[in-house]
Each structure stands twice: as structure tokens, then as C-alpha cells.
Chain A
């Protein structure tokens, strides 16, 4: 099955609503609870990153018998040095983002920890694409 959800940049009141919808789908598909938690955490981190760092974006998903694939595409400032952004502790988050309980530079490393594959590509001044793959049976 395939789905897509719009994610508004800067709007913390809705941050997580897309992930919440997808999590419900994963539950209906009867995936293992530990697997659902890992995917939920990974996609929520990616969603919050769009809210915190970009202007607007979309989460597109594709689920088949083998895997859950999620792609987050945004229009935003992009990431200058992706390797650096992946390091734990690196963050350019604003004061507002920190007040929401985020901005510790832990999101991208946590997505990697909770998924089987993470691919980040970015163009400065244009936007960022984050692709997360989780295999269902491992």
C-alpha cells in the first residue's frame, strides 16, 4: 500500500500528526509491536525535523510484505554537511525548537538506530530528502 501526508514547517501544534496516522496503519497491519515502535520513533524524528528545520514537506510511504519504506521530502534550507549533521550532538535548532523539547542533535542518529537503512540527501537552499527503510521480518 502507498500513502502520503503533508507536513507543515514551523507548526509544532501539528508535529507528529502524520506519524500518528502511519502508526495506526502499522498497527492495523499487525506488525510486531517492537517493530512498530522503532518505525514510529524514526518517522516522528524525521517529521519533527521538517517542522523544526524546513518550510514544508511531505511524507510518502510504501509498505509491502518485505519492508516499510518512508521518504520525507522538504523544501527548506537544506543541510550543508550531511555527515556532520548525522553526528550526535550537532544541531542548528532555534530557541523555539529547544523549548519544545527538541534540538539536541539526537534525531538523525536515533533514526539510524531505529531503522535498517537511512539515506539523507540535501541541496542547500532547496531542501532535504530523508529515506528510511525497515524490513518487517528481521
Chain B
């Protein structure tokens, strides 16, 4: 599934510009624990999180995660958006809870990691 479909399904607003190419996603992982996110081996992953600080972006950069979906309207800062754009990531934010976002994507066939 492409990231534009993800934003449509979850009614999330895409915040990064310049990442013109949409990213292909097969898996999702929902966590605020970056130590845990760093143990994941799969690619084509969207990270669903409520943790909006610079380490969220750094973690995604190191773990080759190309898409982050922030729940509960946890808008990332300009600094985070700029870094994400530099790394070619897609950031989006939704008012829905992490549970709701996870459920919507699960229903549409996005696979869990475990």
C-alpha cells in the first residue's frame, strides 16, 4: 500500500513536502518505545507513534523506516519535519488514537510485525 492510501484511510495530514515519491508499506508497528522499534527487522514499515521528538526521526532513519504516522494530533516540530524531508521520509499526523489508527490499517490488510 502506498503512503497516500495510508493517509486517506487514517484521515491523516501529510506534513513533509518534497517527498514526491510515495513510499510502499506492507507492515505497521505501533510503539512509543524507540528501543523496541530498533529491534525490528522488516522493511516497508509504517511506525505509528505518539512520541514526537527528534529521536523518533533519528530512530526511523537508522532503522530504515520511511513513514511515520503520529496519533492523537501529536504534531512534529519544524526541526523534525526538516530532518525527515532530508531523509526522504513521509510524516503524517491524525487526531485518531493509536488504537484506532492501528485498527484501520489492520482492516485494510497492513500486516503486524509480530
Which A residues fall within an 8 A CB radius of B? Answer: 12-13, 15-16, 19-20, 23, 33, 37, 40-41, 44-45, 48, 100-107, 110, 113
Contacts and interface: CB of A to CB of B under 8 A. Distances in A.
A101 B34 contact: yes
Contacts of A45: 35, 38
Contact of B55 (A15, A37, A113): A15
Interface stretch (B21-29, B60-68, B98-106): B60-68
B88 to A, nearest CB: 12
Residue picked from B32, B58, B59, B62, most chain A C-beta under 10 Å:
B62
Residue picked from A12, A15, A19, A41, most chain B C-beta under 10 Å:
A41
Contacts of B61: 16, 20, 23, 40
B39 interface: yes
8 contacts: A16-B55, A16-B58, A16-B61, A19-B58, A37-B62, A45-B38, A48-B55, A101-B32
Given A16-B61, A41-B63, 5 more contacts: A15-B55, A20-B58, A41-B38, A103-B35, A106-B39
A16 B33 CA distance: 16
Interface residues of B, number: 19
B113 interface: no
Nearest to A33: B64
Nearest to B58: A16
B59 A101 contact: yes
Contacts of A48: 55
Nearest to B37: A101
A110 B38 contact: yes
Interface in B28-57: 32-39, 51, 53-56
A102 B32 CA distance: 9
Contact of A101 (B35, B62, B64): B35
A127 B24 CA distance: 43
A41 B61 CA distance: 9
Contacts of A101: 32-35, 37, 51, 53, 55-56, 59
Nearest to A43: B62
A62 B81 CA distance: 32
A100 B52 CA distance: 9
B64 A102 contact: no
A100 B62 contact: no
Closest 3 pairs (CB-CB, A-B): A16-B58, A101-B34, A106-B35
